[in-house]
Amino acid sequence: MYRKIYSKLIEWKKSESRSPLLLRGARQVGKSYILEKFGEYEFSGCHIFNFEMNKNLFSAFENDLDPERIIKDLSIVSGKKIDTKTELVIFDEIQECPKALTSLKYFCEQMPRLHLCCAGSLLGVKLNSESFPVGKVEFIDIHPLCFEEFLRAMNDDIALELFFDFDSNEKQSEIAHQKLWDYFREYSVTGGMPQVVATYSKHRDNAIEAMNKARSIQKRLVESYHNDFAKHSGKVNSLHIISVFENIPTQLSANMDRSVKKYQFKDVIQRKKSYAELQGPIEWLDKAGLILKVKKCNRSEIPFETFCKKNIFKLFVFDIGLLGAMLDLPVSMIYTQDFGITKGYFAENFVAQEFVSNSISKLYSWSEKTSEIEFLRIVDNEPVPVEVKSGTRLQAKSLQQYILRYSPKLAVKLSGKPLKRNKTSPIQNYPLYWASKI
């Protein structure tokens, strides 16, 4: 399965000044898979050590953290000699062994030629200052499959070619748009979790069966995340984390005017109604990579962070497919886009996911008085407002107010309509599925 981060792994391999690499992401987003394929295709040999599956590995890091001795001991455990010059070593689920994390500092300093990659879930939650080798590792973040990766997984060369026609098109044909829009509707059901997409692709000849199989996997994934909460945060904290996690789809779906409002703290956890009381569970989910936070700016000026308040933000689920599963929305309703006037939150969640998957590390929106814009981006060092519409109605009063106040060089509307560029206006109309092209 094609993943865009593969090119980053190649860059890391070729770098003369590389440090051990740490691949971060939520559970089941494909960390282990992509590293295994990287080892298979790019190295003469690959050695995988999973600290969650094999607790005996811990002993290799007990007495000292000398890289040469560790490699020798790991060779004994695996029964295969490790060539530190030509082979790849993978530490999987490294968060389970804090001393293995600490050892990365010494691998960086004393064995810089070794190609050492690590993968971990809940790293943002599990890491602490004692175990983490600050400045001695490189990071790559991996997310669910974005829309482009989904198209590649469907093995439709025509659709993929149409997707890459963005830069050469002034105006898109209705037929081309409809083909990509149909795939967007499928992606709205599946989301980007690799196991879900792979299963859906395999059974796609029978659409209903494929969607139902995808939903079954999504429900199991949500349940596995609940188990993680209990395992890694304690009984009381896990109940609070579950409450916040399950409440996000509920709040999103409750927006009756097509626009997602700021996150409301009241009634999420019994007898707790302030940001200070919910901050812990929200930060836990954020660090675990299971939610997407969009901060609200009260002015559109760079740096955006200056005009945000820490307790005013929007929250989305990190995968649009899991969002549908958590709401128990029938897959047929999602595919036909037939779930009422509240479906705007699905479009916003999709756009947030596309931005994050394409290396936008922080998300922002804009709100002044009664006007709101779903997202703010920086393009060519200029703020760019991004208005999101789930359908084909493009009336955008807030965007007009934004233009009157800030006179942007570029403003973008994302909707269900085909691409149409306007050389005489700053407003450009893009289909939702091209959100990553902004």
Rounding to the nearest 10 degrees, give the CA dihedral for residues 137, 5, 412, 331.
Answer: -120
Residue whose entry in the numeric block shows the structure tokens 């997407």: 292
> Please, what are the domains in the chain?
6-141 (3.40.50.300), 147-437 (no CATH)
Q: For residue range 213-255, what is the model confidence (pLDDT) as tens digits?
A: 999 999 999 999 998 888 777 766 889 999 999 999 999 988 7
CA 180 to each of CA 118, 184, 194, 326: distance values in angstroms, whole numbers, following the listed order: 36, 6, 20, 26
pTM, 2 dp: 0.93
pLDDT at res. 237: 86
pLDDT at res. 127: 60
Q: For the chain, which residues score pLDDT lower than 50? A: none
pLDDT at res. 392: 62
* DSSP assigned state of 272: B
pLDDT at res. 129: 53
Give yes or no for a contact between 300 and 370, defined as CB atoms under 8 angstroms apart: no
3-state secondary structure 214-245: HHHHHHHHHHHHHHHHHHHHCHHHHHHHHHHH
pLDDT at res. 258: 57
